[in-house]
Amino acid sequence: MTEPLLRVRDLKTYFVTEQGSGTARAVDGVSFDVRPGETLGIVGESGCGKTVTSLSILRLIPEPPGHIRPGSFIEFEGRNILTLEPKELRAVRGNQIAMIFQEPMTSLNPVFTVGDQIAEAAIVHQHLSRAAARRRAIEMLQLVGIPDPEERVDHYPHQMSGGMRQRVMIAMALVCHPKLLIADEPTTALDVTIQAQILELLERLQAELGMAVMLITHDLGVVAGTADRVVVMYAGQVVEQAPTVELFAHPVHPYTEGLLAAVPRLDAPSLSLRTGGRGRLHSIPGQVPAATAWPDGCRFHPRCPYAWDRCRAEEPPLLDASQGDAGTHTARCWLVTEPQRRTRRP
Amino acid sequence: MNIWNWVALGGAAVAALLVVAVVRRRASASASGRRFFRHPTAAPGLFVLAFFVTVAVAAPLVAPYKPYQQIDIDHLQNRSPSTRNVLGTDPFSRDVWSRLAYGARISLGIGALAMLVAVTIGGAVGATAGYFRGWMDAALMRLVDVGLAMPRIFAMLVVVALWDHIAVPVLVLLIGLTGWFATSRLVRAEVLSLRERDFVAAARALGAGPGRVIGRHVLPNAAAPIIVSAALGIGNVMLLEAGLSFLGMGVPSPAPSWGNMIADGWPKMAVAPWSATFPGLAISLVVMALNAVGDALRDALDPRKEAV
């Protein structure tokens, strides 16, 4: 197995809340690897810590109120990002690791042309001249499939549609050919047809440029189509981690199981569709607990259909549930040790 | 005042009208430009400003005399307005119109330059405080509190009183250095909200340093309120300069400023009201014009009115 490009170990990002009512443990001991050239999907519902994890990797967490706890470790190509000097850190941002954000409508600066904004990273990192940077911006616009790039390069963000702006965001992120692209819900704000186009574009660019992609999403459909491996997050922790095919075929953690059951499907009756075809879509009961007060024991136990005494008392570690090579599939659930307890269907 | 001065003066009025027409034409292309001219006092205000700026630039053409020239100290003091001296002569036998024209250079110049100093410092301080937050914000804002609590005119009188004559650039610096406090508050408030915007996070994720983020992504988006406050602030600065000059602490005679012209003229107010009245009128007109334009700019640049 190749050396991972990015190695995250025991990442803890906490926020001190305004009223002093406690510390929100938004990301609480997350570990995962991203290998060169692969697509890693990170899945979870709102508030599970996906975005905070991605912001932590580039150290973009606003401090205060947030801080990354000592003991956390984020290694990129053998260097610990958490101990980099500001200048070294800026040399990594946008150059080695780039990020695209969720909201293409607000992530572009309204007072500059898109060409200026695409060129910015090239000027910052590669010290290109303005003319060369402009040519580069036109190339990038062409690469991300925007028609008439020579003309579009001088347009302002408000002259473009949401899908085009997201293409511009991708062009901005890829100007310096980063080794890792973090895409934080890149398609959430777009409608379904545009979403498919953008995902296709990302896949094509990944193949052309040979970069790794960390795809953060709450949409399992997006992950199924694009990711090689998936990390499922819940309540600030990784609850399950497996190759995509295996995860969809044999989910171990009840949360993953619930998520998969909650995806509406046209082709096959989902787990929760009752006979007669007028069944209701499955939902996981309850809500994500507050980040200031995670439940004791397993953090999913109040919503888990299988929970028993041990789940309430003892927090499970990530247990090996691999069917093939050891360590490829792990889940944070006691069911791994006591599979006979999986009795009721969720 | 000879025929050429009248022609030049007419030319200044035409030039000002042209400026208004050109600006109006350019502005009609954008929604905010149209909003600007929908303000009833915007066009007249712009005309008055353009007119006085033209007069200031073309002072040697529109003024028949040198501003400090005493035409005939024995017979021509306090003459009422006539064809020869359109606005009369002052107690020192100087042509009031000529001094008014040259005085526009000093009064408008001080107003604009002092405001530029104030906006530059206020912008830098406000952006630093708002962007970096924390102890830097606390320290700078306490400094601003002190500045705002200081009675400005007395503080300036103290400084000015240390020297018997004060050079105009020093006066500009003095007014600018005591006038940036409110601007820095305004800029800080804008920056505080802008720094949380997604495009600022995106710029940081691209590897842009704080200087680049502030200079390219934060301040250009805060330009509108800064421009409005500067336009409104120039009027204040001009009034302050006039007040200081009137007290004899501002622009030293014989250089003409509208403030020290009032100071020169007011002892003869009963017999020769023109020598103090006309510079007073000029100040009022320009300050009113600045306020009108500032108000219209505020309406025009307020994004909440975008839907109108």
Q: Where are the alpha helices (DSSP H) in chain B?
A: 3-27, 31-38, 42-57, 59-62, 96-132, 134-149, 152-161, 168-177, 181-194, 198-205, 210-212, 223-246, 258-265, 274-301
- For the cut 90, the answer to whether the pLDDT of residue B51 exceeds it is yes
Question: How much is the average pLDDT of A277-304?
Answer: 79
B279/B160: higher pLDDT: B279
Report which listed range, A11-20, A289-298, B142-151, B251-260, is most confident.
B142-151
- Record the tokens describing residue A340, joined without a space: 């006979």
The CATH superfamily of B3-68+88-305 is MetI-like (1.10.3720.10)
Nearest to B206 among A94, A106, A111 (CB): A94
- For the cut 70, the answer to whether the pLDDT of residue B127 exceeds it is yes
**SS3 readout for A253-315:** CHHHHHHHHCCCCCCCCCCCCCCCCCCCCCCCCCCCCCCCCCCCCCCCHHHCCCCCHHHHHCC
**Contact (CB<8Å) A124/B212:** yes
- pLDDT tens digits for B168-225? 888 899 889 988 998 999 999 999 989 888 889 888 888 888 888 998 889 888 888 8
Q: Provide the pLDDT for residue A344.
A: 56
Taking the C-alpha atoms of residue B108 and residue B114, their distance in angstroms, rounded to an integer, is 10
> Quick one: how far is CA B113 from the chain centroid?
8
Question: How much is the average pLDDT of A288-293?
Answer: 80
Question: How much is the average pLDDT of B5-29?
Answer: 89
Nearest to A60 among B134, B199, B205 (CB): B205
Question: How much is the average pLDDT of B79-108?
Answer: 87
- pLDDT tens digits for A207-235? 888 899 999 988 888 888 888 899 999 88
Nearest to A121 among B199, B201, B207 (CB): B207
The closest of A249, A222, A238 to A322, measured between CA atoms, is A249
Taking the C-alpha atoms of residue A9 and residue A213, their distance in angstroms, rounded to an integer, is 18
Q: Provide the pLDDT for residue B306.
A: 47
- Record the tokens describing residue B98, joined without a space: 């000529």
Q: How many CA atoms lie within 13 A of A17 on its CB side?
A: 12
- For the cut 80, the answer to whether the pLDDT of residue B308 exceeds it is no
- For the cut 50, the answer to whether the pLDDT of residue A273 exceeds it is no
Question: How much is the average pLDDT of A188-203?
Answer: 81
Q: Provide the pLDDT for residue A274.
A: 47
Taking the C-alpha atoms of residue A267 and residue A283, their distance in angstroms, rounded to an integer, is 19
Taking the C-alpha atoms of residue A224 and residue A248, their distance in angstroms, rounded to an integer, is 8
- List the single range of A212-226, A233-247, B64-78, B246-260 with lowest mean pLDDT: B64-78
Q: Using an 8 Å Cβ cutoff, are A203 and A30 in contact?
A: no
- pLDDT tens digits for A16-30? 877 666 788 888 888
Q: Using an 8 Å Cβ cutoff, are A240 and A247 in contact?
A: yes
- pLDDT tens digits for B133-178? 889 999 999 999 999 998 888 888 888 778 777 788 888 998 899 8
Residue spans per domain, chain B? 3-68+88-305
**Contact (CB<8Å) B203/A58:** no
Instruction: Count CB atoms within 10 A of the CB of residue A246.
Output: 18
Question: How much is the average pLDDT of A255-276?
Answer: 66
Nearest to B198 among A92, A98, A103 (CB): A103
**Contact (CB<8Å) A120/B208:** yes
**Contact (CB<8Å) B208/A169:** no
Instruction: Return the sign of the alpha-carbon dihedral for residues A249, A251, A257, A262.
Output: negative
Interface residue of A120, A172, A176, A216 to substitute, partner B, most B CBs within 10 Å:
A120
- Record the tokens describing residue A150, joined without a space: 């020579």
- For the cut 90, the answer to whether the pLDDT of residue A51 exceeds it is no
> Binning pLDDT at 50, 70 and 90, where does residue B54 land?
very high
Give the total residue count for chain B: 308
- For the cut 50, the answer to whether the pLDDT of residue A181 exceeds it is yes
- Interface A-B, measured as beta-carbon pairs within 8 A, has a size of 66
- For the cut 80, the answer to whether the pLDDT of residue A41 exceeds it is yes
Residue B252 CB contacts under 8 Å (≥ 6 apart), including other chains: B165, B166, B260
Q: Provide the pLDDT for residue B117.
A: 94
Q: Provide the pLDDT for residue B143.
A: 93
Taking the C-alpha atoms of residue A34 and residue A212, their distance in angstroms, rounded to an integer, is 7
Contacts 24+ apart (CB under 8 A), A258-266: A258/A282, A258/A284, A258/A303, A258/A346, A259/A43, A259/A45, A259/A220, A259/A232, A259/A284, A260/A220, A261/A346, A263/A220, A263/A221
Q: Which residues of A touch B220 (CB under 8 A)?
A: 109, 111-112
Which residue of chain B has the CA closest to A116? B216
Mean pLDDT of chain B: 87
**Contact (CB<8Å) A94/B221:** no
Q: Which residues of A touch B223 (CB under 8 A)?
A: 111
Interface residue of A111, A123, A136, A179 to substitute, partner B, most B CBs within 10 Å:
A111
Q: Which residues of A touch B207 (CB under 8 A)?
A: 90-95, 121, 124-125
To the nearest whole angstrom, how far is the Cα of B179 from the nearest Cα of chain A? 28
Q: Using an 8 Å Cβ cutoff, are A43 and A232 in contact?
A: yes
E strand residue ranges, chain A: 6-16, 23-34, 39-43, 66-68, 73-76, 79-80, 97-100, 180-184, 212-217, 229-234, 237-243, 319-320, 330-331
Q: Provide the pLDDT for residue B18.
A: 93
Interface residue of B136, B193, B199 to substitute, partner A, most A CBs within 10 Å:
B199
**Contact (CB<8Å) A172/B217:** no
> Binning pLDDT at 50, 70 and 90, where does residue A275 land?
very low
Q: Provide the pLDDT for residue A346.
A: 44
Q: Which residues of B touch A103 (CB under 8 A)?
A: 198
Taking the C-alpha atoms of residue B192 and residue A171, their distance in angstroms, rounded to an integer, is 28
- Record the tokens describing residue B20, joined without a space: 């208004």
Q: Provide the pLDDT for residue A276.
A: 47
Question: How much is the average pLDDT of B26-32?
Answer: 83
Q: How many CA atoms lie within 13 A of B260 on its CB side?
A: 21
Q: Provide the pLDDT for residue A192.
A: 80
- For the cut 80, the answer to whether the pLDDT of residue A64 exceeds it is no
